[in-house]
């Protein structure tokens, strides 16, 4: 059984889309998506510097577009399970057929703009905590007014809050925490700081007509699989201001009997977590098109029926 996962914000690096645009038809597809959302995805994915692609309004649609391009390039073998981390949930929803690609990107564009606007109200951010046990870390975060915005499993937790709160955390780390590493994001995502963005995204989502997932879709909210397209979209909206429980998604993968995991472009982060949290599960990150042949072989070997299915991103 194979799960296809999509990374979230912070996975982007300057120029990461360049090799993907050399694939047949990729540049034309990206141009169409760019026109649909009013953002030059090719420019940001190939020429944008680190500061430009850190901008929430740019990073989110760029990551979803990259994930969808790499999903298209994988071919016709459908995954058994899909999930995405934070904004990667929109990629997963499109792969599962809940939203068509253009609708997903339009929603993500609205999401990124709304979250950037919410983040501009107060100087906020996020930081990964390396080391430490939850029973020691969580009380300290609560004491400082911080939120455990990402509980990623394998001992990885991300705190979010104001710049002052994060500075206080770095200056006086919880017992067992070796380092507090700032993330390449522009706000305290998945916290109450993002509440204004929820309302805007809900209004945009009301204009969509979702379909039920064509494969098992696992939600960040609680790690539960969701069979209703309408509920998937409802959860996508609410997740903007609530914590990402990737640890619970990992537990669900394990319970389902997942034997392999492929991470869409720009892969690496979720694969690293899976290697620690899911011992014995084969993992592969799509970093460049050079990884595609191996990923296709892994998907043919580990999907439930071992046969090609209709492309869920078509």
Which one, of 279, 289, 197, lies nearest residue 237 by Cα? 197
* Angstrom distances, CA of residue 8 to CA of 79, 189, 259, 298: 19, 11, 22, 23
Contact assessment for residue 149 and residue 128, using Cβ atoms and an 8 Å cutoff: no
Q: For residue 314, is pLDDT > 50?
A: no
Let me know whether 75 and 178 are in one domain: no
SS3 217: strand
Examine the pLDDT at 306 and tell me if it is beyond 80.
no
Let me know whether 75 and 204 are in one domain: yes
Residue 302 confidence (pLDDT) above 80: yes
Asked if residue 148 belongs to a domain, the reply is yes
Tell me: do 226 and 283 sit in the same domain: yes
Say how many C-beta atoms besides its own lie within 10 A of residue 137's C-beta. Answer: 23
∠ CA(234), CA(59), CA(102), 5° rounding? 55
Q: Is 86 a catalytic residue?
A: yes
Instruction: Give residue 310's pLDDT band: very low, low, confident or very high (50, 70, 90).
Output: very low
C-alpha span between 120 and 85 (Å, rounded): 23
Q: Let me know whether 159 and 221 are in one domain.
A: no
Q: Are residues 26 and 107 in the same domain?
A: yes
Nearest 5°: phi and psi at 177?
A: -80, 120
Q: How confident is the model at residue 307 (pLDDT cuts 50, 70, 90)?
A: very low
What are 70-106's pLDDT values in tens digits?
999 999 889 999 999 999 999 999 999 999 999 999 9
From the list 86, 103, 219, 242, the catalytic residue is 86
Domain with residue 45: its CATH number is 3.40.366.10
Instruction: With residue 63 as reference, give the H or E element that holds it.
Output: helix 56-73
Burial of 19 (0-12, 13-18, 19+ CB in 10 A): middle
- Is 310 domain-assigned? no
Number of domains in the chain: 2
Per-residue model confidence as pLDDT tens digits over 209-260: 999 999 999 999 999 999 999 999 999 999 999 999 999 999 999 999 999 9
The last residue of a domain, from among 182, 203, 227:
182
Question: 294 in a domain, yes or no?
Answer: yes
- Give, for 197, the enclosing helix (H) or strand (E): helix 195-205
- Give me the mean pLDDT over the 251-273 stretch: 97
Average pLDDT of every residue of the chain: 93
Catalytic residue at 193?
A: no
Work out the pLDDT band at 290, boundaries 50, 70, 90: very high
Query: Would 147 be classed as within a structural domain?
Result: yes
- CB 130, CB 172: distance < 8 Å: no
* CB contact at 8 A, 15 and 273: no
Instruction: Count Cβ atoms below 10 Å from residue 158 Cβ, excluding itself.
Output: 24
pTM for the predicted model, two decimal places: 0.92
Give 311's pLDDT tier (boundaries 50, 70, 90): very low
Using the CB atoms, write b or e for 283-300: b if 16+ within 10 Å.
bbbbbbbebbeebbebbe
Same domain, 22 and 93: yes
- How far is residue 211 from each of residues 69, 96, 195, 233, measured CA to CA in Å? 21, 9, 26, 10
Active-site position among 85, 103, 190, 242: 190
Q: Would residue 314 count as lying in a domain?
A: no
Same-domain status, 93 and 231: yes
Give the pLDDT of residue 197. 95
Mean pLDDT, rounded, for 107-112: 96
What domain range is 139 assigned to? 124-182
Residue 178: Cβ within 10 Å count? 10
| In contact, 222 and 89? CB cutoff 8 Å | no
Domain end: 147, 165, 182, which one?
Answer: 182
Rounded CA gap, 245 and 249, in Å?
7
Answer yes or no: do 113 and 215 share one domain. Answer: yes
Q: Which residues pair with 244 in a beta bridge?
A: 150
Residue 308 placed within a domain: no
Task: Report the pLDDT value the prediction gives residue 305, as an integer from 0 to 100.
Answer: 57
Q: Residue 151 sits in a domain of what CATH number?
A: 3.30.70.250
Residue 307 domain flag: no
If asked whether residues 161 and 198 sit together in one domain, one would say no
Compute the distance between CA of residue 270 and CA of residue 42 in angstroms, rounded to an integer. Answer: 24
Note the pLDDT tens digit of each residue in 144-182. 999 999 999 877 899 999 999 999 999 999 989 999 999
Least confident of 28-42, 104-118, 294-308: 294-308
Q: State whether residue 4 is helix, strand or coil.
A: strand
Alpha-carbon distance of 236 to 234, in angstroms, equals 5
pLDDT in tens, 34-47: 999 999 999 999 99
48 and 148 in a single domain? The answer is no
Q: What is the mean pLDDT of residues 60-71?
A: 98
Examine the domain organization and report whether 131 and 246 are in the same domain: no
Flag whether pLDDT at 289 surpasses 60.
yes
> Residues 213, 154: one domain?
no
Is the confidence at residue 313, as pLDDT, over 80? no
Q: Domain ends where: 182, 200, 216?
A: 182
Whether residue 278 is contained in a domain is answered as yes
Residue 1's Cβ-side half-sphere holds a number of Cα atoms within 13 Å equal to 12
């Amino acid at each position: 059984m194979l799960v296809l996962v999509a990374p979230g914000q912070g996975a982007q690096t300057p120029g990461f889309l360049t090799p993907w645009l050399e694939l047949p038809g990729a540049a034309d597809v990206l141009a169409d998506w760019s026109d649909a959302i009013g953002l030059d995805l090719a420019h940001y994915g190939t020429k944008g510097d680190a500061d430009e692609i850190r901008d929430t309004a740019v990073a989110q649609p760029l990551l979803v577009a990259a994930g969808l391009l790499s999903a298209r390039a994988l071919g016709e073998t459908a995954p058994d399970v899909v999930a995405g981390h934070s904004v990667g949930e929109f990629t997963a929803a499109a792969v599962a057929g809940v939203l068509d690609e253009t609708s997903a990107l339009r929603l993500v564009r609205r999401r990124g703009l709304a979250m950037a606007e919410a983040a501009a109200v107060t100087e906020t951010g996020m930081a990964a905590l390396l080391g430490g046990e939850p029973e020691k870390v969580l009380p300290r975060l609560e004491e400082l007014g911080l939120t455990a915005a990402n509980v990623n499993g394998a001992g990885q937790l991300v705190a979010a809050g104001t710049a002052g709160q994060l500075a206080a955390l770095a200056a006086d780390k919880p017992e067992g925490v070796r380092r507090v590493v700032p993330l390449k994001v522009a706000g305290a995502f998945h916290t109450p700081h993002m509440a204004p963005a929820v309302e805007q995204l809900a209004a945009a989502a009301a204009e969509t007509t979702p379909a039920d997932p064509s494969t098992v879709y696992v939600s960040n909210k609680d790690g539960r699989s969701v069979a209703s397209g309408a509920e998937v979209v409802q959860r996508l909206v609410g997740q903007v201001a609530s914590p990402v429980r990737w640890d619970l998604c990992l537990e669900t993968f394990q319970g389902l009997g997942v034997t392999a995991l492929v991470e869409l472009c720009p892969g690496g982060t979720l694969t690293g977590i899976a290697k620690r949290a899911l011992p014995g599960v084969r993992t592969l990150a799509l970093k460049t098109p050079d990884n595609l042949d191996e990923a296709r072989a892994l998907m043919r070997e580990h999907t439930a029926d071992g046969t090609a299915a209709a492309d869920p991103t078509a």
